[in-house]
Amino acid sequence: MKRIILFDGECNFCDYSVQFIIKRDPKGHFQFASLQSEIGKGLLKKYNAPLDIDSFVLIEDNRCYFKSSAALRVCKHLKGAWKLLYLLLVVPSALRDCFYEIVAKNRYRWFGKKESCMLPSPNERKRFLADEEV
């Protein structure tokens, strides 16, 4: 099953989050693309997601998940105790997303913004989608 994470390629916090996931996903459950890339835009369009979204997006089982729902669904597949965070899906999404949005709105101020995307190692590069894979 293909699971794709779309992330803000200009955000330092988002870049750190991708690196965090890669390190805790040794089975390679997830593939990645930035929201700003052509493939990211194409996937948003394919799944009828808002094209101006700047949220963390998970595409899984032909569905799009956003914000805290996406993040918690990712946790389910990470090694270690991070799996337990998946249980927070029982908390109403309005409450979960309230906390998510505080971080999202302040992410550039708190963590900075990149001029360019990170350069993944050759091994990690296989996990990033190329435009011809849409």
Question: Could you list the residue range(s) of the whole structural domain that residue 12 is in?
Answer: 3-127
Percent above pLDDT 90 for the chain? 52
Percent above pLDDT 70 for the chain? 89
pLDDT per position as a tens digit, 61-100? 999 999 999 999 999 999 999 999 999 999 999 999 998 8
Measured from the Cβ of residue 92, the count of other Cβ atoms closer than 10 Å reads: 9
User: In this structure, is residue 81 part of a structural domain?
Assistant: yes
Would strands 57-60 and 3-7 be described as parallel, antiparallel, or unpaired? antiparallel
Does residue 3 carry a pLDDT above 90?
Answer: yes
Number of domains in the chain: 1
User: In this structure, is residue 133 part of a structural domain?
Assistant: no
Does residue 1 carry a pLDDT above 80?
Answer: no
User: In this structure, is residue 23 part of a structural domain?
Assistant: yes
Question: Helix or strand or coil: residue 63?
Answer: strand
CA distance 92 to 89: 7
Question: Average per-residue pLDDT in the chain?
Answer: 86
Helix %, strand %, coil % of the chain (to 5): 50, 15, 35
User: In this structure, is residue 50 part of a structural domain?
Assistant: yes
CB 16 within 8 A of CB 26: no
Tell me, what DSSP letter sits at residue 129? Answer: P
Region 13-17: what's the mean pLDDT?
Answer: 85
- Of 12-16, 23-27, 117-121, the range with the lowest mean pLDDT is 117-121
Q: Which residue has the higher pLDDT, 45 or 55?
A: 45
pLDDT at 10: 78
User: In this structure, is residue 132 part of a structural domain?
Assistant: no
Edge-to-edge strand ranges of the sheet holding 30-34: 30-34, 3-7, 57-60, 63-66
